[in-house]
Amino acid sequence: RLRARNRLQVILQHLNMSKQTDSTAEVLLEKKGGAGIITLNRPKVLNALNLSMIQQIYPQIKAWEQDPETFLIVIKGTGGKAFCAGGDIRAITEAGKVGDKLSQDFFRGEYRLNNAIGTCKKPYVALIDGITMGGGVGVSVHGHFRVATEKTIFAMPETAIGLFPDVGGGYFLPRLPGKMGYYLGLTGCRLKGRDVLKAGIATHLVESDKLPALEKDLIALKSPSKEKIADLLNSYHMKCTVDQGKEFVLDEHMEKINSIFSANSVEEIIKKLQQDGSPFAMKQLETINKMSPTSLKLTLRQLREGASMSLQEVLRMEYRLSQACMKGHDFYEGVRAVLIDKDQSPKWKPAAVEEVSDEFVDNCFKPLGKDDLKL
């Protein structure tokens, strides 16, 4: 009997271990030294976040926050291509089409996780190496430290799939310098490497191949304060020479961006782009004309309102918008055109910005009563 009990103990021990370090798990949650390490582990789908990952990460962050032996939290992705390319949009699409609860549960879970990161009492370090878009931005940008590399590609490309820059985009985008956040949110413009730092999205820049050493040094810190962590990150950042002399990619356009994207309506932005007529303006006009007209209108209002809201208020607003999009047409059509059939020619309804009524937009922002997001 004793042997059977010992065997059981060994099995249980093994199960506990494998839960933490099973290389096939979608997310790995490990404690190393004084650091809690979150590894997004779906490299084949560029570490896209699904509901089960969210449901594992959220309680772990909460537990580490309470644990006196955990001094910092680090989040990273596997596979070398992406930190996290976004939420698992395909699963949400399938669910939304048949009215499955996942289309509520996913956004509710994701936004609660964004809020947990934004309010986390322990220093939170995101190593945003590779593609960092949509949901990947949500699990990094609200933390204390965002370490970009020469491989980082940042974008909030949601208006191209009939959605809006969510995961707290309504909070961080309007707080970027000038009207840059409005420009990024409406056009889905991509920023790379040092530009992610210069835009104010990343806090540090470190060479991609130095990240393992940086992680090791973070783990080795003895009961570190936020200042100690900042010092360590700064020391790596100072040594990083990637694109050192290069001008910020949007520098020469900032004046135009600030003047055009300060307009009060999408129609006015389009008009200003047409009037400007420069190659830059024409390129932006072409981009905006491809986006969902409904998404453009929701996004502009989301960013304008979010500029003076708390993160919690923004996430509540965005949850309302997410549910409006789940009930609409453009999200499913956008996902079809961009991700499923890949024909890149969505048929938006309504097809023109002028046809999206203020009344419709107002309705998307209305409280959901007992179904509102609780944080």
Alpha helices in 176-225 (DSSP H): 180-187, 194-198, 211-220
Q: Which domain covers residue 312, as residue numbers? A: 24-371
Residue 20 has pLDDT above 90, yes or no: no
pLDDT tens column, 72-81: 999 999 999 9
The active-site residue out of 86, 134, 135, 188 is: 135
Residue 304 has pLDDT above 70, yes or no: yes
What's the number of domains the chain is made of?
A: 1
Residue 19 has pLDDT above 50, yes or no: no
φ/ψ of residue 205, rounded to 5:
-130, 130
pLDDT tens column, 40-62: 999 999 999 999 999 999 999 99
Measured CA to CA in angstroms, residue 277 lies from 53, 87, 253, 354 at distances of 46, 36, 13, 21
- Range 186-190 average pLDDT: 98
Q: Flag the least confident range among 7-21, 54-68, 167-181.
A: 7-21
Report if residue 158 sits inside a domain: yes
User: What pLDDT does residue 9 have?
Assistant: 65
Determine the Cα–Cα distance for residues 166 and 157; give it in Å rounded to an integer.
10
Report if residue 36 sits inside a domain: yes
Q: For all residues of the chain together, what is the average pLDDT?
A: 95
- Range 131-140 average pLDDT: 98
User: What pLDDT does residue 24 have?
Assistant: 84
Determine the Cα–Cα distance for residues 368 and 162; give it in Å rounded to an integer.
21
Asked about 135 being catalytic, the answer comes back as yes
More confident residue, 10 or 364: 364
Determine the Cα–Cα distance for residues 42 and 126; give it in Å rounded to an integer.
17
Both tokens of 96, joined, read: 């939304």
The active-site residue out of 26, 88, 110, 166 is: 166
Beta bridge partners of 28: 39
Determine the Cα–Cα distance for residues 81 and 93; give it in Å rounded to an integer.
24
Measured CA to CA in angstroms, residue 166 lies from 13, 124, 211, 263, 296 at distances of 40, 20, 28, 21, 13
pLDDT tens column, 191-221: 999 999 999 999 999 999 999 999 999 999 9
Q: Flag the least confident range among 4-13, 44-53, 240-249.
A: 4-13
The active-site residue out of 77, 86, 87, 162 is: 87
User: What pLDDT does residue 2 have?
Assistant: 57
Both tokens of 108, joined, read: 């509710």
φ/ψ of residue 122, rounded to 5:
-95, 145
| Amino acid letter for position 352 | A
Asked about 170 being catalytic, the answer comes back as no
**CB contact at 8 A, 272 and 257:** no
**CB contact at 8 A, 34 and 71:** yes
Residue 36 has pLDDT above 80, yes or no: yes
Report if residue 13 sits inside a domain: no
Q: 3-class DSSP state for residue 251? A: helix
**CB contact at 8 A, 19 and 56:** no
The active-site residue out of 88, 158, 195, 318 is: 158
Report if residue 11 sits inside a domain: no
- Range 101-126 average pLDDT: 97
Q: What share of the chain is helix, strand, coil (3-state, %, to 5)?
A: 55, 10, 35
Report if residue 15 sits inside a domain: no
What residues contact 281, with CB distance under 8 A and at least 6 apart? Answer: 256, 260, 272, 273, 274
Asked about 372 being catalytic, the answer comes back as no
**CB contact at 8 A, 193 and 201:** no
Share of the chain above pLDDT 70, in %: 94
Measured CA to CA in angstroms, residue 358 lies from 90, 194, 297, 363, 366 at distances of 30, 39, 9, 9, 13
CATH number of the domain where residue 333 is located? 3.90.226.10
User: What pLDDT does residue 4 have?
Assistant: 62
pLDDT tens column, 246-282: 999 999 999 999 999 999 999 999 999 999 999 999 9
- Sequence-separated contacts (24+) of 213-219 with Cβ below 8 Å: 214/127, 214/147, 215/37, 215/74, 215/76, 215/127, 218/35, 218/72, 218/74, 218/125, 219/32, 219/33, 219/34, 219/35, 219/37
For residue 352, the 8-state DSSP code is S
Report if residue 4 sits inside a domain: no
φ/ψ of residue 224, rounded to 5:
-75, 150
Residue 234 has pLDDT above 90, yes or no: yes
